[in-house]
A = this chain, B = another copy of it.
């Protein structure tokens, strides 16, 4: 693995090797404080994402490496008057690994074509955020011993949640997963996720209430429901209580169920849940740092490739997704890939 663009690019075996390394780091982090000594990570955050940025920064620092970059393009002049290609060519001169967060779908893939060093996708718009999935899987595996066979409740806004979609897709690598998809009807999973689960023989059921199903869950993955997502604000007011996890609702849960959340939490989990031993959402962030340590160690130690293969020069985008990186970086090559037999954009995965 030279880059991490999409969690789906990794085989189960590659993931298990990474997890094994993350697990060694969790057991004895002090043994790793020198493994990236002399290595430098460039963290380009074209949109602010403090949690993700802090996690990647400290992951590199705890390996003995160092970090430069920007946390917000407004405080930087990089984004101005320069192509993404040139920015990547420039920073990959200075860095051993590039970590990118952008609002543009497919941007990490685009960067990887020109970079002399490995590229990590730390979120490219609503498209992919593979290291969040790594954090989630590390938490589950570490605390439950395995992922196979678990019964997982996903609760909240399942329509818009990138985190949730990525987790469902990642679960296709495991066996005998059961999903309870808990959401208001307005915010149910998109049809293409249903198709995905059916194609991969994943058991799932959709429900509108949390309380009735909570006793069956091994993992309850909470997400935020944003008022703005509702067409009818009254509908939001009527529904929101159903999807708030309280200490009382937790009473009927299994004693070893995990309560997870990608953070930040607003009020979808009440304060009194925090001291319950099943509440692992803060630990989950810590496991995320360890997972990123395993990843950065793997990537930052790879040799540079100062002469990546020449890339075809495009002239205009073939993709119609207005959020796709090819819309603005028009020199990108016309990459096509098949997804489920359909021609899709090689950057943002949208059907052509």
A38 contacts B48, C-beta separation under 8 Å: no
- Is A223 in the interface zone, CB < 8 Å from B? no
Q: With the chains together, A89 CA to B49 CA distance in Å?
A: 17
A272 to chain B, nearest CB (A): 6
Chain A residues packing against B (C-beta within 8 Å) = 30, 33, 37-38, 40, 42, 48-51, 54-55, 57-58, 61-62, 64, 66-72, 74-78, 81-82, 85-86, 89-91, 93-95, 263-266, 271-272, 274-275, 282-283, 285-286, 289, 306, 310, 313, 331
B81 contacts A313, C-beta separation under 8 Å: no
Q: Copies of this chain, how many?
A: 3
Chain B residues near A89 (CB, 8 Å)? Answer: 274, 282
**Known contacts being A40-B58, A40-B62, is A48 close to B30, with CB within 8 Å?**
no
A-B contact pairs, 5 of them (CB 8 A): A40-B58, A40-B62, A50-B78, A271-B313, A272-B313
Chain B residues near A49 (CB, 8 Å)? Answer: 77
Nearest B residue to A264 by beta-carbon distance?
B82
B50 contacts A77, C-beta separation under 8 Å: yes
A109 to chain B, nearest CB (A): 18
- Scoring A50, A69, A82 by chain B CB atoms within 10 A of each residue's CB, the highest score goes to A50
